[in-house]
A and B are shown apart, each in its own frame.
Chain A
Amino acid sequence: MKALSQKRRHPLAVIALLLMGLLVTGGLYAVATTVNEAKASTSGYTANDVEEGGKLFVANCATCHGMGASGTANGPSLVGVGAASVDFQVGTGRMPMQMNGPQAQKKPAQFNDEQTRQLSGYVASLGAGPAIPEEGLLDEKGDAAAGGELFRVNCAMCHNAAAAGGALTRGKFAPALADVSGKHIYEAMVTGPQNMPVFSDTNVTPEGKRDVVTFLKQIEANGSPGGADLGALGPVSEGLFVWIAGLGVIIAFTIWLTSRTS
C-alpha cells in the first residue's frame, strides 16, 4: 500500500489511470451492448431458404425496399430489422402493404408459412436483428398477474387495459390484440412495428414478454364473466347501450301501457 501511495505522483501514473478508466468503460460498454444485442440468427435457415427468400424479395418487396433491401424513398432499408420483423409484417399480412396510409393494415397473409420463413431467412442474412422467439417463450405458462402489471404500465395507454385497441393521432391506431398469435405479439414487442415503440430485452425481459403474452392469452380465454362485453370499450359503449337498448325497451313498454286509452 505504501508503495502505491508513494508512486502516485509518478509521471506515468496519469497514463496508467487513463488506460484503466478506458478499459473499464469500454469493457462495461461492450458488456452492456451485448446484453441488448440483436442476435443475427441465421442458424435456422439453410442456404436454399436464403436464396429462395431472396427471389421472393426481389419479386415482391424490392419495388419499395430496394434491391438488397437497402431502402428507397418509398420504403426503409431492411438491413438489420431481423427475422422477427419480417415474420410479423408478412405473417400478419401487413406487408406487402395494401396501400399507402397512416399505417399498414392487417389483412390475410399473402405468403404461406414456408415463403414467410424464406423471406425471414433472407432478411436475417443481411444483418443482425431480432430473431423469431423460441417456443419456450410462447408457451403461455408465464405469470399472468405479472404480465398484467407490465401490460397496464407499458401497453394499456395505446392498446386499452382490456387490449381492445385505441386511437392514435392522425388516423393511426393501436389494434385490438384478441386473435393475435402469441408469436406475433412477442415479435411486435421486440421489433416495434408501425408506431409501436421497441420493448428491448433490457426494457422488458424475455420472461416479462412471456408473462405479457400469457396475460393476453388468459384474458382472451377467460372471455367476459359478466355477460356480453359490448366491445370492451368501457363507458362509451355502456352509455350508448343504456340510451338505445335500455331506454328503447322502456319506451316501448310505456307506449304499450298507455295505449288502451282514448
Chain B
Amino acid sequence: MSAASRAEAPAFVAKTKVGRITDFVDERVGGSGILREFGRKVFPDHWSFMFGEVALYSFVILLLSGTFLTFFFDPSMAETHYDGSYLPLKNVEMSVAYSTSLDISFDVRGGLFMRQVHHWAALLFVASIAVHMLRVFFTGAFRKPREMNWVVGSVLLILAMAAGFTGYSLPDDLLSGNGLRIIDGVMKAIPVVGTYISFFFFGGEFPGTAVIGRLYMLHILLVPALILLMIVLHLFMVVVHKHTQYPGPGRNDGNVVGYPLGPVYAAKAGGFFFIVFGVIALMAGFFTINPIWNYGPYDPSPVSAGTQPDWYIGFVDGALRLMPGVIGDFQFEYVVFGYTLTLNVLLPALVPAGILFTVMFMYPWIESWITKDTREHHVLDRPRNAPTRTAIGVAGFVWYCVMWAAAGSDLIATHFRVSLNDVTYWLRALFFIGPVIAFMVAKRVALALQRKDREIALHGRETGRIVRLPHGEFIEVHAPLDEYKRYKLVGFESPAPLPAVANDHGIVTRKEKQRAFLSKWFFEDRVAPATPAELEAAHGHPAHPAVEAGQESKSLSH
C-alpha cells in the first residue's frame, strides 16, 4: 500500500470501546460481509419447516449432555461388585460399564437427570429427523436442485440411528445386551463371512470383553463427527439452494417470500432452541427413560419379557418378530456347500430395511425419470396435488408402521387383551396388504380433496345459509373466495401422462416403454385445476353449475 492511498482513506474510528473492538475484528475477518449476506437470507415461515431445526437443536443438546456423561462413564467390561447406593443391586457382580452407569444414575449429582436428558434428546433427535423427512417427501422438496441434499439427509437418518444404537448398548444392562445379542445373530446369519464379522466385532465369542469399549469409541467419536460433517454439508446446501416455500400469491420458483434471518428469524430460531431444550428438560425431569436399574447387569442367559429396542430400531425388530420360523413343512434354513443359510433371520433383518432405504435414497431420481421433469422446483407441492407420490409415501409409511407395531406385539396383546398369535397373524397379513390398501386409499383421498378444492374454487365456500326463492326452490348461498385463497386452489400443475417417445435413432426402447407405462400409472388419475375460462364461466353465472373440466384442460400459467 502506498503512502498516498493511506493518506486518502481517512481511518474510521468508532466512538465506543465495543465499537472499536468490533471494528478491529471486522477488519481482520470480514465479519460484517458474512453477516450482511446471512442476515439477509430470507426464510419462509411455516410450522412444518421447523423440524430440521428441532433435530439440529436436539443434536446440540446431545453433545452437551453427552459430554457430561463421559466425565463419569467408564466403558470397561471388567468385572466388579456393585457398591453404590441402589440397594436391590448391592454386591451383585457386573461390569464396570454398568456399575458406572448406575453411579451416574444414583451417586452423581444431577447424573440421572443428565442421563434422561441425553436419552430423551436422542429419541427426539431421530423422531424429528423422521418427521422432517416426511415433510420433505410429501411436499416434493427433494426435487431438483435438492436431490443431493435429500441423500445427505437420508445419510443423517442412518447415522442418527447408528448413534442411537451404539449409545443404547453402552450401559451394558440386560435390555441392551439382549439387543446386542440380536445384532450378533443377524451378523452371524450373513452367509460365509457372518461368523467372521461377529468375531471381529465382538473381539471373539459374544459377548466378549471388548464390545462396550468399541461401541463407546464409535458413539462418542466417529458417529458424532460424521453427523457433524453431514450437518455442515446439509446446511451449506440449504444456503446454496435457498429455502423452498409453499405455493401462494406472489411466490414462484424464482423468489423466496419470508422474513430475513436477522433480526426476526434469528431471534425466533434462537428462542426455539431454548423451547426445545425446555421440553426435553421437562420430559427428563418428570418421566423416567431407560431405567437401567430395573434390568440388571447383562448376563447372556436371561431374556426379560418386553425386551424392545428404542423406537427407531423397532421396525427391524418387528420384521424379525413377524418372520415365521417354518411354514408348515417349509423350512427357511438350508445348508449350502457346508455353509448354513438362515433365511428366517437374514430375510427379515436385512430385506425390509434394505428396500426402505434403497427406495428412499433413489426416490428423487425414480420420480424424475418417470415424469421427465428436470426443471428446478422451489415452490412446494401440496401433498394432494401430487396424488401418486403422496400414495407411494403413505404406502411406505404404513409398511414401516406395520413392522414398527410388530415390535410391540406383546404389549399390544397384553394391553388390548388379545392373543399374541392373532396379533402376529394380522400384522403378517398387513405387512403384505397394508401398503396396497394404504396406496389406494391415500390416492383416492388426495383426488377427492383436489375435487373439493376445484368445487370451492368454482362455486365458492358454502355459507350454510339456505334461501327460498320466490318460485319455491331452496338454494344454499355460496360466498366467493378472495383471490388469495382462490390462487392456492388453482395455482398448481397437473401433468398428463407422457407417452413413450422414440430416441434419436427412431427406436422406442423397452426402457422408454416401461417409463411411459409408469408415467401413465403416475398421472393417469388426475384432477385438473380450474382454468381461468372455467372460473369466468362459473362466476359469470353463479346460478348455474360450472362445466366439468375436460381431460386436456391446461394448468394456469403464472
Contact = CB atoms under 8 A, between A and B. Distances in A.
Interface stretch (B22-30, B208-216, B407-415): B407-415
Interface string B284-295: 111111110111
Nearest to A165: B414
B106 interface: yes
Contacts of A227: 116, 284-288
B398 to A, nearest CB: 16
Is chain B's interface secondary structure helix, strand, loop, or mixed overall? helix
B92 interface: yes
A78 B302 CA distance: 33
Given A224-B288, A235-B309, A161 B304 contact: yes
B78 to A, nearest CB: 19
A116 interface: no
B305 A166 contact: yes
Contact of B288 (A148, A174, A229, A242): A229
B301 A159 contact: no
A167 B414 contact: yes
Contacts, number: 198
B419 interface: yes
Interface size class, chain A: 35 or more
Interface stretch (B46-54, B141-149, B491-499, B515-523): B46-54
A118 B295 CA distance: 41
A145 B88 contact: yes
B105 interface: yes
Nearest to B269: A257
A153 B288 contact: no
A127 B303 CA distance: 37
Interface stretch (A29-37, A64-72, A90-98, A244-252): A244-252
B291 A232 contact: yes
Contacts of B47: 251, 254-255, 257-258
Interface stretch (A10-18, A42-50, A214-222): A214-222
B302 A171 contact: no
B112 interface: yes
Contact of B411 (A215, A236, A243): A236
B128 to A, nearest CB: 7
Contact of A171 (B287, B290, B293, B420): B420
A250 B276 CA distance: 7
A199 interface: no
A176 to B, nearest CB: 9
A160 interface: yes
Interface in B403-445: 407-411, 413-414, 417-421
A153 B305 contact: no
Contact of B290 (A160, A238, A254): A238
B206 interface: no
A214 B307 CA distance: 24
B274 to A, nearest CB: 11
B127 interface: yes
A81 B286 CA distance: 46
A239 B310 contact: yes
Contact of B310 (A102, A164, A238): A238
A44 to B, nearest CB: 33
A7 B105 CA distance: 74
Contacts of B361: none
A232 B295 CA distance: 11
A236 B127 CA distance: 14
Contacts of B259: 261
Contacts of A148: 88-89, 92, 296
Contacts of A145: 87-92
Contacts of A198: none
A111 interface: no
Contact of B304 (A160, A246, A253): A160
A132 interface: no
A213 interface: no
A225 B286 CA distance: 10
B132 to A, nearest CB: 11
Contacts of B293: 225
Contacts of A164: 306
Interface in A164-199: 164-171, 173-174
A230 B88 CA distance: 21
A216 B127 CA distance: 35
Interface in B71-99: 87-92
Of listed A144, A162, A227, A242, residue having the most chain B CB within 10 A? A242
Interface string A127-166: 0000000000000000011001100110011111110111
A160 B306 contact: yes
B40 interface: no
B120 interface: yes
A230 B116 CA distance: 14
B456 interface: no
A99 to B, nearest CB: 13
A56 B301 CA distance: 45
A241 B284 CA distance: 12
Q: Which of A149, A159, A166, A246 has the most CB of B within 10 A?
A: A246
B124 interface: yes
A173 B414 contact: yes
A170 B112 contact: no
Contacts of A249: 279
B305 A239 contact: no
A246 B123 contact: yes
Given A156-B305, A215-B88, A226 B289 contact: yes
Nearest to B280: A246
B131 interface: yes
Contacts of B291: 162, 224-226, 229, 232
B131 A247 contact: yes
B379 to A, nearest CB: 17
A153, A167, A228: most-surrounded residue (chain B CB, <10 A): A167
A233 B306 contact: yes
Query: 5 closest A-B pairs (Cβ-Cβ)?
Result: A166-B305, A239-B311, A226-B288, A161-B304, A167-B410
29 contacts: A144-B88, A148-B92, A152-B299, A153-B301, A156-B304, A157-B303, A157-B305, A165-B414, A166-B410, A167-B413, A167-B414, A169-B419, A171-B413, A171-B419, A215-B88, A219-B88, A225-B106, A225-B293, A230-B287, A232-B291, A234-B308, A242-B123, A246-B279, A247-B131, A250-B128, A250-B275, A253-B279, A254-B272, A257-B271
Interface of A: 102, 144-145, 148-149, 152-153, 156-162, 164-171, 173-174, 215, 218-219, 222, 224-230, 232-239, 241-243, 245-247, 249-251, 253-255, 257-258, 261
Interface of B: 45-51, 54, 87-92, 105-106, 112, 116, 120, 123-124, 127-128, 131, 174-175, 259, 268, 271-272, 275-276, 279-280, 283-291, 293-296, 299, 301-311, 314, 407-411, 413-414, 417-421
Given A161-B295, A166-B414, A226-B289, 10 more contacts: A145-B90, A156-B304, A160-B305, A161-B294, A167-B420, A228-B287, A236-B407, A246-B280, A250-B128, A258-B49
